[in-house]
């Protein structure tokens, strides 16, 4: 059941992030194939991914400063148009690595602007008691977009060419930018109620102060970025090398991960709003840890598909709930700064995960890589227990009358 959406701008944000997911899904599904056709090595492809992550890390705070100077809507529209340009021209600049890396940095900058803009608008307009339900709806829109994008790119490639699919992805992003400029309200709602009282007389918080408040949310998103980037690159290789699964069968494995997220994230959001976001994240991390360990035990293809689906349902649901958690912790005026940190930690996870996982895989094999990913989620669960008081729901639960 969908949560109640009283503000039409929230629907506009969800349509926007769905279309962003379609455009990104089209480009991501063809990126490695195109670079391989151009003669790029696996190391070079990984290095380009690192330049993309550096773009996100480097431009997250500048995007926040721009939002305060202009507006989240303006940053979102400009970021959509910048992404449209970078994705459309990318297949035509890859003959030179330096130029391809520069475009990937701009791609990361545009992605930072799109995500931070959408998330700031969403958190500012979502009711406090439904933040997790609405961020879950937002995550589901992303998941559907990412599932749609590869099918769209396959159709375009069949009809025209691989390069044409990048151009189509750029056109989708450009049209989305025009749609946002036309339909989205320019101003955010003023802080009210508890949010207004929290921010009265305090002025702007420092980045360190914001990070202290949302450290559990940032750790959860860092762990997800680290895990997601590592699994996308190395789980298919592990399945082919050590489980006897064919390359053709591994192509649809990411679809099962997205399916798991799509099928469960709404339920997880409602649970988070009811029992507390951080408690829900701890439970999901524990279940997800067991699922990652099952990758080592299962050999049959259908069992692996089921395990990947369960991993998507549990671990992928942590990211939107961690977004909702920072939405109830931070003062209304600090959503932009908080989202910059949140996305910066996600990108840092994407930056660190593949090289560390790759070295473990190469030196000790696939199981060792999976054990260390499971250990990361255990570390997050322990961290979330130690700082359980970061979630306002923890204090409410302690003060609630016992029956």
Tokens of 274: 């009811």
Cα–Cα distance, 208 to 211 (Å, whole number): 5
pLDDT of residue 403: 46
- From the CB of residue 392, how many other CB atoms can be counted at a distance below 10 Å? 16
Cα–Cα distance, 21 to 171 (Å, whole number): 13
pLDDT of residue 278: 92
Best CA proximity match to 173, nearest among 78, 287, 285: 78
Cα–Cα distance, 329 to 321 (Å, whole number): 12
Q: Are 299 and 266 in contact (CB under 8 A)?
A: no
Residues in Cβ contact with 274 at an 8 Å cutoff, skipping those fewer than 6 apart? none
Cα–Cα distance, 114 to 99 (Å, whole number): 23
**Could you list the pLDDT tens digit for every one of the 403 residues in the chain?**
456 677 888 899 999 999 999 999 888 878 877 887 888 876 787 778 888 888 988 888 888 888 888 888 999 999 999 999 999 999 999 999 999 999 999 999 999 999 889 988 988 887 776 777 888 888 889 888 887 888 888 889 889 988 999 999 999 999 999 999 999 887 666 544 444 444 444 457 788 888 899 999 999 999 999 998 888 777 877 887 888 887 667 656 777 887 888 888 888 888 888 888 899 999 999 999 999 999 898 888 889 889 989 998 999 889 889 888 888 888 877 887 888 888 889 888 988 888 888 888 888 888 999 999 999 999 999 999 999 988 887 766 555 555 4
Tokens of 218: 């940032």
Cα–Cα distance, 197 to 309 (Å, whole number): 42
Q: Are 379 and 216 in contact (CB under 8 A)?
A: no
pLDDT of residue 252: 66
Residues in Cβ contact with 300 at an 8 Å cutoff, skipping those fewer than 6 apart? none
Cα–Cα distance, 129 to 352 (Å, whole number): 35
Decide: helix, strand or coil at residue 5: coil
Q: How many helices (H) and strands (E) does the chain have?
A: 17, 0
Residues in Cβ contact with 221 at an 8 Å cutoff, skipping those fewer than 6 apart? 319, 322, 323, 342, 343, 345, 346, 349
Tokens of 309: 């689906």
Residues in Cβ contact with 153 at an 8 Å cutoff, skipping those fewer than 6 apart? 25, 26, 27, 29, 30, 165, 168, 169
Residues in Cβ contact with 248 at an 8 Å cutoff, skipping those fewer than 6 apart? none
Q: Are 258 and 146 in contact (CB under 8 A)?
A: yes
What are residue 54's phi and psi, to 5 degrees? -65, -35
Tokens of 147: 């599932």
Q: Are 162 and 92 in contact (CB under 8 A)?
A: no
pLDDT of residue 197: 41
Best CA proximity match to 170, nearest among 4, 368, 33, 20: 20
pLDDT of residue 328: 84
Cα–Cα distance, 173 to 25 (Å, whole number): 12
What are residue 58's phi and psi, to 5 degrees? -70, -25
Q: Are 80 and 180 in contact (CB under 8 A)?
A: yes
Best CA proximity match to 281, nearest among 267, 263, 268: 268
For residue 192, the Cα-to-chain-centroid distance in whole angstroms is 28
Decide: helix, strand or coil at residue 105: helix
Cα–Cα distance, 51 to 58 (Å, whole number): 10
């Amino acid at each position: 059941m969908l949560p109640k959406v009283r503000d039409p701008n929230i629907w506009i944000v969800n349509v926007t992030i769905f279309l962003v997911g379609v455009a990104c899904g089209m480009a991501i599904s063809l990126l490695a194939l195109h670079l391989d056709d151009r003669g790029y090595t696996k190391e070079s492809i990984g290095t380009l991914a690192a330049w993309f992550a550096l773009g996100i890390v480097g431009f997250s705070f500048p995007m926040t400063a721009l939002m305060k100077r202009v507006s989240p809507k303006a940053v979102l529209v400009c970021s959509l148009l910048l992404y449209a340009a970078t994705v459309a021209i990318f297949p035509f600049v890859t003959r030179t690595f330096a130029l391809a890396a520069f475009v990937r940095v701009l791609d990361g900058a545009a992605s930072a602007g799109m995500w931070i803009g959408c998330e700031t608008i969403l958190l500012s307009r979502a009711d406090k008691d439904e933040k997790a339900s609405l961020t879950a709806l937002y995550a589901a829109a992303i998941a559907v977009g990412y599932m749609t994008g590869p099918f769209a790119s396959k159709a375009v490639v069949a009809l025209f060419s691989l390069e044409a699919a990048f151009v189509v992805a750029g056109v989708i992003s450009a049209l989305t930018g025009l749609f946002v400029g036309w339909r989205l309200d320019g101003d955010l709602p003023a802080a009210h109620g508890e949010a207004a009282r929290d921010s009265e007389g305090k002025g702007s918080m420092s980045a360190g102060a914001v990070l202290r408040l949302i450290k559990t949310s940032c750790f959860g998103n860092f762990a997800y970025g680290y895990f997601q980037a590592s699994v996308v690159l190395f789980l298919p290789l592990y399945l082919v090398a050590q489980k006897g699964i064919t390359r053709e069968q591994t192509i649809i494995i990411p679809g099962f991960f997205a399916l798991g997220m799509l099928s469960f994230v709404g339920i997880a959001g409602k649970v988070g709003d009811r029992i507390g976001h951080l408690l829900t994240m701890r439970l999901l991390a524990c279940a997800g840890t067991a699922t990652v360990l099952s990758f080592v035990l299962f050999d049959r293809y259908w069992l692996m598909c089921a395990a990947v689906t369960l991993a998507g349902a549990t671990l992928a649901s942590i990211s939107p709930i961690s977004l909702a958690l920072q939405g109830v912790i931070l003062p209304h005026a600090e959503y932009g700064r908080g989202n910059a940190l949140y996305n910066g930690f996600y990108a840092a996870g994407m930056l660190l995960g593949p090289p560390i996982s790759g070295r473990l895989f190469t030196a000790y094999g696939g199981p060792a890589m999976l054990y260390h990913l499971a250990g990361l989620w255990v570390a997050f669960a322990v961290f979330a227990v130690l700082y359980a008081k970061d979630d306002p729901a923890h204090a409410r639960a302690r003060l609630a009358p016992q029956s």
